[in-house]
Chains A and B, each alone.
Chain A
């Protein structure tokens, strides 16, 4: 099956700092999503981005499908950004099953 690797696994930031999270995947995909799992366990949709670049406030994401990676940028981080960030991908012939990366655990300190 497809492999999804995220880096770094853990990240500690001071409030106000910027960061880049990376997601590498091993095969072509028709779906790539970024999620934030908050401390209550809920999975929040951040971006649907199988290719190209999108921005939403302080967050932006870029997927380079031909090179099989995606980046999530967090600018001016806030304590509420803490949690785990997941990248998930799906292949054309995989019943839309999302394969999740291992996540990046982010802690933003005040």
Chain B
């Protein structure tokens, strides 16, 4: 089944404890990205990647890191999480070019930072 997977789905952690949220897709997509969703602020892009070893900032990159060492994986790293990073996080993937740019979203990771 074609899908985007994220782990963990739920995480409660404490301020300053480094964490990684994994994202993997099995559709051979070049493009991957991370979004966060907050009440009243909607969904906003954190980082994106156009291909392996190519990453760039979205609208709200502060406090996050990403890497793209393999085409299928795009982990989101919070080196020192803070309470304002409590949010619902989505990973997405899609094709690039060819006039078709549909993006597919993972199931979401609900993160609480105490």
Please determine whether A95 and B42 come into contact, CB atoms closer than 8 angstroms: no
Binding site for A on B (CB under 8 A): 31, 33, 35, 42-43, 45, 48, 50, 56, 58-59, 88, 90, 92, 94, 96, 99-105, 107-108, 110
- Chain B's closest residue to A101 (CB) is B42
Please determine whether B48 and A96 come into contact, CB atoms closer than 8 angstroms: yes
A-B Cβ contacts below 8 A, count: 54
Taking a contact as CB atoms closer than 8 A, the residue among A45, A90, A96, A100 that contacts B43 in the complex is A100
Instruction: Check if A30 is an interface residue, CB within 8 A of chain B.
Output: yes
Binding site for B on A (CB under 8 A): 30-31, 33, 35, 41-43, 45, 48, 86, 88, 90, 95-98, 100-103
Interface of B is mostly: strand
Please determine whether B88 and A33 come into contact, CB atoms closer than 8 angstroms: no
Which residues on A sit within 8 Å (CB–CB) of B100? Answer: 48
Taking a contact as CB atoms closer than 8 A, the residue among B31, B33, B103, B107 that contacts A33 in the complex is B103
Please determine whether B58 and A96 come into contact, CB atoms closer than 8 angstroms: no
Please determine whether A45 and B33 come into contact, CB atoms closer than 8 angstroms: no
A22 to B93, CA, bound (A): 25
